[in-house]
Each structure stands twice: as C-alpha cells, then as structure tokens.
Amino acid sequence: MSTVAYIALGSNLGDRKSNLDRAVETLGRHSTMTVKCVSSYYETEPVGGPPGQEKYFNAALELETDLSARQLLQTLLETEASLGRVRGEKDGPRVIDLDLLLFGDEIYEEADLQVPHPRMHERVFVLEPLAEIAAEVRHPILERSASDLLWGLKHAGRELSGMRAVVTGSTSGIGKAIAFELSRAGASVVLHGRKEKTARRLAHLLHADYQLADFARPDERQRFVELAWQRKPIDIWINNAGADTLTGHAASWSFDKKLEVLLEVDVKATIELSRTVGARMKEQGSGVILNMGWDQAETGMEGDSGELFATVKSAVMAFSKSLSRSLAPEVRVNCIAPGWIKTAWGKTASASWQERVRQETPLERWGLPEDVAKAARWLVSPAASFITGQVVRVNGGAVR
C-alpha cells in the first residue's frame, strides 16, 4: 500500500537551484516512489549554525511511495550522499539537505527516525513551500494544517510572553489546540493529561511542562495544583478537562454512570480547581480563569446526551459567572460555550449528524478545535482585560 510523504529540500552551497533540481530528478528516478508535486524555490536566510553562511534555496515536494518510513529516510540519506553532501558542523552549510517532514499520518519517535519532523512547525522556510503544495495537510500531533501553522509563525503576536498557563485536558481535542495556541502566543504552558507518552510527546513539541492526574480523584486534583504551582505562580488557568462519555467503552455506560462521572470530572473538578486556583490568583493580585461550557446548555437538546451535557455544562456556566464576582477585580473568570466542534465524536458521526450540523450552523460547517483555541487565546490575553463573567459562544452563529 502506498503512502503520501512530504520532503523538505534545502541548499546553500554551489549552484543552489541546480542542487535542488538534481535532488528532485534523483528521487523521481526511483522505482519505489513517484514525485507528485514540487513547490517553488524560496530564498531564505540561514537559521542557526556558523555565521557568514550563504542564503538557502528551500522547497518542498510531495511523493507517493511503497517504502516504509525508515526505508524512505535511508533513500533520502543515500540521495544526499550521491549529490555530494558531507556531514560536518551542525546546521552548517550543505550542498543538499533532504528532511522527511510527514509520512501519511504516522508518528515515529525513535532515535534515528522522528516523524513528523520535530521542528517543522517552528520554521517558516519549511512551512512556506509545504503550504504552497499542500495547504491543508495536517500535522498528526498538533492537528493543525500547514497553512495555519505558517500563518501563526508569520502573523501571530507574542502577547502572552512571560505568562505561565495551565491547560487541563490538553493532550487531545480542544485542550491540545488551546495549549498550542497559547504556546505560540508566547506563554509557558503546563499540560495535563492521563497518559505519559501522549503528554510527553506534545510537551516536547511545545517546549512545555506536563503533569499527569486523574481528575475523577479529588486527591489527584489537589496534588496537580500543588505541582503546577511549584516552579512559579500561574497567570492563566483553563479548565478544559472533561469526561468523554460519547466514544470508547464509556459510550455503552448507563445514564446514571455517565452522570456520575460527568458530575465528578466536569463539574466538581472544575469548581474545586477554580476555587483553589482563584484564591491563589487573588492573593497574588492577578490571574485569568477560563472554563468550558456548551452552547446548547441553555436551550436544551433531546436525548440522553443532551440531558447529561446540559445539566453539567449549565452548572459550569452558572458557577463561572458567580466566581467572576467573587474574585473580581484581581481575577477575571469567563466561560467558552463551544457548539458543534469536530473532536473525536464528530470525526466519526453519521451522515445524518453531519447534515444536522450543517443545517443548524449558519456558517454551514463543523467548528474545529483551533476555532475554540483562538477565542480562548483572546479571552485570556490583555486585549480582553475588561471582559469577565461572560459566556462566549463559539458555534458558527447557531441560534437555537
């Protein structure tokens, strides 16, 4: 079975254009792969390495191959050598550089094979040519498109620089999107999850800290606060963690069991963490808390899921409004109420649900985790310093 892969090309020695041309031609002659598309060539300044280097020519190409990721990497190394690449000083000048950026949606974390490329999301000279040929291809860990990653590097500010932010439930879905958005706004992020491997992987990409905790257990909730606050005070706290009762084995639970877990994780954990953290922030003289509601909590939705989520998210939304009054003026507290957002359940929803979402949403599409994340970034930033006690709907304009 063939796999679509993306390769970054670079050269800053000799005839740079000819070097890239030869690399594309050499790869195209392999019987095990087909070069499908090549970007324009971009002249860029060198990043890192010894001073005095010449500018680079950079490009990206898309290929389809029957090779494994490891076999493709070996082919790239052999191609570099055949074109005269001699490895010397780190980030030094080179005749040709071929980096494996993406291999389908696969993830490899081995000493000599790291896919996606661990720094591709931080490099304009990689993302610009990639976005030219594959604007919507998504980073399999960050779950952001090449065009979105590029836009963030070229246009987004660093308005959260110097701030420390905790995002609970941040190893997947909306939480992960928020953590990434705050990180690229300059915040030092503390991630939360329950799986070591997943948390460590994301922390590595975002240069973040992480703590593991099961918020269904009160003792672990309090321990998490203590550990998160250990290094230095927290400026931003986002309570995104929630129980998933829609997918996996939890989908088959009884109504009563789902309600019990949702009350413990979505309601009690949010209340306890907000009160504990809020008291500390008020004492330190500043801080922002952001909680997660649901846009249909106020209007209602039929069925077990509607009854469950309306109950718990209404509680969170009402609590957030009251907490904002208790903690003012030092601490701001707001709540985001997402609408139809394509997280794990939305990705596998039936055709009838897909059509329902389209009909109920004036913008006629699912929301994405990054849509919520960008709203969260604004709400916790100094730009929203006069906003507190509000429930902000992020739902494509749906009015029910």
| Residue 399 resides in a domain | no
| Residue 167 resides in a domain | yes
Q: Active site includes 97?
A: yes
Give how many domains the chain has, as a whole number: 2
Residues 180 and 316 in one domain: yes
Residues 97 and 128 in one domain: yes
Decide: 102 and 140 in contact? Cβ < 8 Å.
Answer: yes
Q: Last residue of a domain, which of 100, 119, 151?
A: 151
What is the reported pLDDT for 248? 86
Residues 60 and 139 in one domain: yes
Q: Active site includes 217?
A: no
Q: Active site includes 85?
A: yes
Residues 377 and 361 in one domain: yes
| Average pLDDT of every residue of the chain | 94
Residues 221 and 77 in one domain: no
16, 22, 94, 184: which is the annotated catalytic residue?
Answer: 94
Q: 195-215, pLDDT tens digit by residue?
A: 999 999 999 999 999 999 999
Q: Last residue of a domain, which of 106, 122, 151?
A: 151
- Among the ranges given (85-89, 143-147, 153-157, 158-162), the one the predictor scored with the smallest mean pLDDT: 85-89
What is the reported pLDDT for 400? 67
Nearest to 295 by CA among 304, 306, 285, 287: 306
Q: Provide the residue range defining the domain that includes 224.
A: 158-394
Q: 58-74, pLDDT tens digit by residue?
A: 999 999 999 999 999 99
Residues 51 and 189 in one domain: no
∠ at Cα 273 (269, 277), nearest 5°?
A: 175
Residues 167 and 210 in one domain: yes
Q: Active site includes 94?
A: yes
Q: What does the block give as tokens for 370?
A: 């990054």
pLDDT confidence of 344, banded at 50, 70, 90? confident
Greater confidence, 398 or 58? 58
Residue 55 carries which DSSP code? Answer: P
Q: Is the pLDDT of residue 284 over 80?
A: yes
99, 105, 209, 244: which is the annotated catalytic residue?
Answer: 99
Instruction: State pTM to two decimals.
Output: 0.87
User: What CATH number did the domain enclosing 373 receive?
Assistant: 3.40.50.720
16, 29, 66, 85: which is the annotated catalytic residue?
Answer: 85
Mean pLDDT along residues 112-128: 95
User: What CATH number did the domain enclosing 26 receive?
Assistant: 3.30.70.560
| Residue 142 resides in a domain | yes
Task: Find tokens 């010449």 and name the residue.
Answer: 54
Residues 63 and 104 in one domain: yes
Q: 349-392, pLDDT tens digit by residue?
A: 889 989 999 999 999 999 999 999 999 999 999 999 999 999 99
Whole-angstrom distance, CA of residue 117 vs CA of residue 396 = 33
Q: Last residue of a domain, which of 151, 184, 217?
A: 151
Q: Is the pLDDT of residue 92 over 80?
A: no
22, 97, 266, 371: which is the annotated catalytic residue?
Answer: 97
Residues 63 and 188 in one domain: no
What is the reported pLDDT for 219? 94
Decide: 177 and 377 in contact? Cβ < 8 Å.
Answer: no
Residues 216 and 351 in one domain: yes
Q: What does the block give as tokens for 9?
A: 């090309």
Greater confidence, 97 or 90? 97
